[in-house]
Amino acid sequence: MAMCYVQMYFSYLEPLADLTDEEVGRVVRAILKYGADKTIPDLPPSERMAFTFMKTNFDREAAAYDAKVEKKRENGKKGGAPVGNQNARKQKQPKQPKEEEKEEEEEETNKKEESSSSKEEGVVLTTTTTMTTLIESYEGAYGTATPVIRRSLGSYVESLGPELVSKVIEVTAQAGGQKWPYLAKSLEECKRKGMDLAAYEAEQIRRKVGYNARVDRPTPSGNDFLARPVRRPLRMKREDCSPCSIT
């Protein structure tokens, strides 16, 4: 591929100094024509001298350009940079400590963002599934859940947890509850007392057996107070006491 340009040097001002603008224009056009198709124009002696000076520089530059192109073509056929080329000896420079720390921080931040995003998606999915299950349980026991009831159930799930709400629905349904106010009263009581699932189940057990029911232990406690009875000293009546001597 031949050169597609002609370089104009400041040194050309000297051979062009004695020419008029019209003559300079013809010389410049002539050198451009020569660079494009190697045509040598017919110029007057004064203009030919300037043209020859510029042509010599152009021929030297074109030869160097062609040699460079040919060298690159040969290197391309060999499939790599030539021996001695700076690119052939280029090695991966070790990263600076600050750059490594910055990359590690960015990588850690990306991991946290991905993990947080995954957790948020999982929470949304789990919450949606839980609410669907609770609404199905409610409708199976109490009937259709209106939008107001759905919002109220969602509020109780946030404050009490889905497990406790599900348990309250089950217990109140078994107790004969048929309307939302009955269930809402039980949920509100759990919320007021700050109950969790374990506390609610324990209270249900106490209600079934009674608050003062006797608890039989599977094994004795070991504190058998009848095994070692302590006899209290007998008190004597006043008349049985001997009279005190008066001195």
Q: What is the pLDDT of residue 240?
A: 54
pLDDT by position in tens, the chain (length 247): 677 888 888 888 888 888 899 999 999 999 898 888 888 888 888 888 888 888 888 888 888 888 888 888 887 777 655 555 665 555 555 555 566 666 777 777 777 766 655 555 444 445 566 788 888 888 888 888 888 888 888 888 888 888 888 888 888 888 887 788 888 888 998 988 888 888 888 888 887 766 555 555 566 656 665 666 667 777 766 665 555 554 4
Count helices and strands (H / E) in the chain: 8, 0
Tell me if residue 20 falls in helix, strand or coil: coil
CA angle, residues 162, 168, 174, in degrees to nearest 5: 140
Q: What is the pLDDT of residue 121?
A: 47
CA dihedral 151, 153, 156, 157 (to 10 degrees): -100
What is the rounded CA–CA span in Å between residue 165 and residue 168? 5
Q: What is the pLDDT of residue 22?
A: 92
What is the rounded CA–CA span in Å between residue 20 and residue 246? 165
Q: What is the pLDDT of residue 208?
A: 75
Q: What is the pLDDT of residue 124?
A: 43
- pTM of this structure: 0.36
Q: Where are the domains of the chain?
A: 10-79, 116-207
